[in-house]
A = this chain, B = another copy of it.
Amino acid sequence: MEKIVVIKIGGNCIDDEVALSAFLSDFAAIKFPKILIHGGGKLATQLASQLNLETTLIDGRRITDEKMLDVVTMVYAGLINKKIVAQLQAAECNAVGFCGADANLIQAHQRVNNEINYGFVGDIDKVNADFLVDLLDKNYTPILAPITHNKKGILLNTNADTLASSIAIALAQKSNKVDFYYCFEKNGLLANVDDDMSLISAVNIQEIELLKQNQTITKGMIPKVDNISFALKNGVDKVVLCNAKHIGEIFEENSILGTTFTIK
């Protein structure tokens, strides 16, 4: 396959129905074979709270006991995934929704951590990229929810950022070119986090380290950028960090939107 586009959208976009709808309409129009990975947003936390389940996050990761696993499975793989699929189908994009258990797409193991019991949280072992390539070849658009399984009958809650980069890496072994678009609520990597106009347009892997040292990249950006580095080192051609609002324009020729990360 000539080129595959892998796109991740995060919580802020999913929580806002109008923004999500605009995003999906732009996404449907992208001409390349494409895959969408979505996070869960606040909906899982809301449902948990309505069910009197307490949400505990450690370093942004949700502690997932059995009841919370049911909640995230319902919200991510059910509600959000199927609403996205239905909206894309209406926009003439032949979307098909999956979680990692389907077709053994993403096999994981329960996280082992001596200090914190994360519960039913999964770390990814392998991706069935052939299944995805086959669907893309037939013009279907896979939509992935961040739930995986251990192949022993247990579903696992899995970080959507890591899942998206694992998918991009696995596809890079099967395709000439994989571009990974990492959408969030900012315009890209900013020299000054409070100034939307201070966009850094292009960054290579060496520069990532410098930007960490001089504290342009801090806090929540660190795991994102580590994910990006890891993807580039493992065969992904470029990673674009951009605003979900710009996903249409960014595919236009000579677009100057977003931050493009490359290996060199």
Interface residues of A (CB under 8 A from B): 47, 50-51, 70, 73-79, 81-83, 85-87, 89-90, 94-99, 101-104, 134, 138, 140, 147, 149, 151-155
Number of copies: 2
Nearest B residue to A85, CB-CB: B101
CB of A78 within 8 A of CB of B89, answer no
Partner of A101, one of B79, B89, B98, B102: B89
A75-B78, A89-B104, A153-B87 known; A98 and B99 CB under 8 Å?
no
Partner of A102, one of B76, B95, B151: B95
Is A97 a contact of B86 with CB atoms below 8 Å? no
* Cα–Cα, bound, A164→B94 (Å): 22
| Min C-beta distance of A19 to chain B, whole Å | 16
Instruction: Identify the closest chain B residue to A128 (Cβ).
Output: B94
Q: List the B side residues contacting A79 at CB < 8 Å.
A: 70, 73-74, 78
Would you call A104 and B94 a contact (CB within 8 A)?
Answer: yes
Main secondary structure, interface of A, reads helix
The docked-state distance in angstroms from the alpha carbon of A102 to that of B153 is 23
Tell which of A76, A79, A82, A85 has the most Cβ of chain B within 10 Å: A82
- Verify A153–B90 contact, CB threshold 8 A: yes
Tell me the minimal C-beta distance from A154 to chain B in angstroms.
7
A147 touches B96 (CB 8 A): no
A-B contact pairs, 12 of them (CB 8 A): A50-B51, A70-B79, A76-B78, A78-B78, A78-B82, A82-B147, A83-B155, A87-B153, A96-B102, A96-B103, A103-B140, A134-B138
B86 touches A153 (CB 8 A): yes
**Do B78 and A74 touch (CB < 8 A)?**
yes
Q: Which residues of B contact A152 (CB under 8 A)?
A: 90
Min distance, Cβ A92 to any Cβ of chain B, angstroms? 9
Q: Which residues of B contact A85 (CB under 8 A)?
A: 99, 101-102, 149
How long is the Cα–Cα vector from A152 to B89 in the complex, in angstroms? Answer: 7
